[in-house]
Amino acid sequence: MPKHGKNYNNKVAKLESGVQYTLEEGVEKLLASSYVKFDETVDIAMKLGVDPRHADQMVRSSVVLPNGTGKVTRVLVFAKGEKEAEAKEAGADFVGGDDLVDKIKEGWTEFDKTVATPDMMGTVGKIGRILGPRNLMPNAKLGTVTFDLASVIKDIKGGKVDFRVDKSGIIHAGLGKVSFGQEKLVENLMVFVDKIIQLKPSSSKGIYLKSVTITSTMGPGIKLDPISLRAAVK
């Protein structure tokens, strides 16, 4: 079992054992539990009542957070001709085709998101084995295979978060920074949770939101009450 320092243990001691908090209470506790000097990321972990082994119970999508993520996202775009110029104008960090493919084949992966126009997917497919395991492959279902480059790049730069339920039925995502404060974090969390609820598979039976935990990078996990959370979102 991992050992924690004095500061961490002091913060945990102030939390009530076994208590599930409302969203506002949980964020307040999270902010009060931050004790480090750097700006921590705020993460959420949601255990869903789904079996991702079945295709019809796979929960996967993306959402644009109203207050962004607080993270600088480097966007790479595979495009050519007029679309290459559009991507550059929209703020893409890297734009190209075969030149980028060759660079990535050599081991370069200093980017966070990839976008491609449909006519470039044949080129991108050459490095699918490199991008795929790193979750960097453009995906039409996530809106990253498109001719509407300006809109997609704007969303990514503005705080678009991609998510996918893992094999244990859990969704993890970073939804902001401690420096955002109470109001902005609550707004981001509500938008994210609302999106997850909207995506409930029709084949999922029983309790859908089984557990919800928020935490900062170095802080303790704060359990939220799924029932009050669902009510708050509505």
Q: Within a domain: residue 12?
A: no
Q: 99 and 213: one domain?
A: no
> For residue range 192-223, what is the model confidence (pLDDT) as tens digits?
999 999 999 999 888 999 999 999 999 889 99
Amino acid identity for residue 204 in this structure: S
DSSP secondary-structure letter at 162? E
> For residue range 97-140, what is the model confidence (pLDDT) as tens digits?
999 999 999 999 999 999 999 999 999 999 999 999 998 999 99
The CATH number for 115's domain is 3.40.50.790
Q: 209 and 221: one domain?
A: yes
55, burial (CB in 10 Å: exposed 0-12, middle 13-18, buried 19+): exposed
Please state, in angstroms and rounded to a whole number, the distance separating the CA atoms of residues 224 and 57.
Answer: 23
Q: Please, what is the Cα angle at 23 between 21 and 24, to 5 degrees?
A: 100
User: Does the reported pTM lie above 0.85?
Assistant: no
Neighbours of 198 (CB within 10 A): 10
Instruction: Identify the three-state secondary structure at position 194.
Output: helix
Please state, in angstroms and rounded to a whole number, the distance separating the CA atoms of residues 116 and 120.
Answer: 6
Domain end call among 140, 157, 174: 157
Residue count of the chain:
234
Q: Within a domain: residue 3?
A: no
Q: Please, what is the Cα angle at 73 between 86 and 114, to 5 degrees?
A: 55
> For residue range 71-93, what is the model confidence (pLDDT) as tens digits?
999 999 999 999 999 999 999 99
Domain end call among 127, 157, 187: 157
pLDDT at residue 6 is higher than 80 = no
Domain count, the chain: 2
Amino acid identity for residue 209 in this structure: L
